Amino acid sequence: MPSSYHAIFAAPGSKGFSAAGLIGRMPLAMLGIGVVTMISQLTGRYGLAGALSATLAMSAAVLGPWISRLVDRHGQRRVLRPATLIAAAAVVGLLVSAEQGAPDWTLFVFATGAGCVPNVGSMVRARWAAIYRGSARELHTAYSWESIIDEMCFIFGPIISIGLSTALFPAAGPLLAVVFLVVGVLWLTAQRGTEPVPQPREQQTGESALRSPGLRVLVLTFTATGGIFGAVDVVTVAFAEEHGHKAAASLVLAVYALGSCLAGMVFGLLHLTGPAARRWLVGVCVMAVSMIPLQLAGSLPFLAVALFVAGLSVAPTMVTTMALVEAHVPRTKLTEGMTWTSTGLAVGVALGSSAAGWVVDAAGARAGYAVPAAAGTAAAVVALLGYRRLREPVPIRGGRGADDQKPDKHGDHDERERVA
C-alpha cells in the first residue's frame, strides 16, 4: 500500500470501520443489478426490471436523508440497526414474491420498503471526517481510499450478483446482498470508539443541509450523473444478452469500475492545488464526453474498452464532490449532506435505469446507450450553470464547534471558510 494510504490507517480503529464499510457497501453494487437480472430471468421483461430497480432507488432517495439526519442527531448505532432490519425484511419479501410469481404491485411494495437501506458509505466517510477534521491532505487521501472501496464493490459486486443469479437461481445475487448488508452494518455499529459523537441538541437546527446553495448544485448534478450509472447497468445487461453472453455483463461492468478504481488510487496520491470546484467541473464534463463512444459499440470487447476509459473520470469526480460537501455543509449536518449527494445519485439511477429499460424494450440495447449520453449532457449543463455557487466563499454558520474556526495543522484555515 502506498505510504499516503498507509499513513491514514495509523488512526486507531480506522482499519476496522473501513473493512466493515466495504462489506456493508456491497449491496450498493449488487442489489439493483441483481433485481434487474432476477426479474429479466423470471419474466423476460426489462421494463419491469428497470422499474423495480428505479423504485428501490427512489425509495432510498426519499428515506436516505431522513435516516442520515437521525444519525447526525442520535448516532449511527441507534439508527442504522433498526433501519437495516427493515430493509433486509423488505428485500427478502421482494425475492420471495418474485420467485412465487406474485402480482406486480406486491413487488413494488417490497421494493419501496427496501429503500431503508442505510448509506453505509456516508457513515464511513463521516468517521474519517471526525478523525481528520482540519487535516485537508489526510482527508483527501481518506476520501480517495473510500472511493477506491466503492469501485472495488462495483468491480466484484456485479460479477458476484449476476454470476450467482445466472449459475444458481435468479434470487441468489440479491439474497447474498442482504447478507452483506446485515453483516456489514452490525460490524460497523459495533465499533463505538470511532463513531462520530452526535452534536448537542442546542447546536442542532431543524433546517435541512439542502439550504446550502453549493450542496444543491452538487445534488442536482449528481442526479443527472446517476442517470449515467443506472442506464449503463441496464443497457449493458441487455447488450450482453443480445450478443449471446448475458453473464459477461458483470465482467464488462467490472471493467468500468476498474477504470474508476485505478484513477481513484492515483488521484489519492496527488497533492493538488487550485480550486476544487474547477477540478469538479472538469470531471463532470469529461464524464459526459466519455458516454459518446458507447453508442458506437458493436461488440463486447469494444464496449469494455470504452467503459474502462469512461471510468477513469468517475472516482476523481466523486472524491472532489465529497470534499466540496465537507466545505459547504455544517459539521452537525455532514452525514446528511453526504447522503444528499448519494440521494441525487439514487434518483438519477432510478430515472436512468427506468428510461433505459423502456428504450431497450422498444428499440434494442444499442439504442439504449443514448440514455447515458443524454444524462451526461444534462450533468455538464447543470455543473456549468451552478459552478459560480461552488466557488463562492462559504459564510460561517451555526452548528460548529470553536475548533472549526482555528487553523489546521498545515497552517490553513478550515476549508469551509475559504473559496472551495
- Residue 89: per-residue pLDDT: 93
Model confidence at 204: pLDDT above 70: no
Full domain range(s) for residue 27: 15-191+209-394+404-417
pLDDT for residue 419 is more than 60: no
* 123/291 Cα distance (integer angstroms): 31
Q: What is the pLDDT of residues 231-256, one digit of tens each?
A: 888 888 888 888 887 778 878 888 88
Q: What is the pTM of this model?
A: 0.70
Res. 412: pLDDT tops 70: no
What is the average per-residue pLDDT within 173-182?
Answer: 91
- Alpha-carbon distance of 388 to 66, in angstroms, equals 28
Domain assignment present for residue 313? The answer is yes
Is the pLDDT reported for residue 399 higher than 60?
A: no
Is 137 in a helix, a strand, or coil? helix
Q: Does 135 reside within a domain? A: yes
Could you tell me if residue 201 is inside a domain?
no
pLDDT in tens, 57-91: 778 878 877 888 788 788 888 888 999 999 999 99
Helix (H) or strand (E) holding 3: helix 3-8
The alpha carbon dihedral of 395, 401, 402, 408 has a sign of negative
199, part of any domain = no
The answer to the question of residue 175 being in a domain is: yes
Within-domain flag for 316: yes
The count of other CB atoms within 10 Å of the CB of residue 407 is 10
Would you state the cell numbers that stand for residue 149, as one nine-digit string? 472501496
Q: Please, which residues have CB within 8 angstroms of residue 319's CB and are 6 or more apart in sequence?
A: 140, 143, 144, 147, 264, 267, 268
Q: Is residue 399 part of a domain?
A: no
Split at pLDDT 50, 70, 90, the class of 380 is very high
218 grid coordinates: 452538487
Number of domains the chain is built from: 1
Q: Give the count of beta carbons closer than 10 Å to the beta carbon of residue 12.
A: 10
CATH number, residue 390: 1.20.1250.20
pLDDT digits (tens, 9 = 90+) for 37-52: 888 888 877 778 878 8
Write out the three cell numbers for 175: 439474497
pLDDT for 264-309, tens place per residue?
Answer: 888 877 776 777 888 889 999 999 999 999 888 888 889 999 999 9
Asked if residue 10 is part of any domain, the answer here is: no
The C-alpha cell that represents 102 in the structure block: 406474485
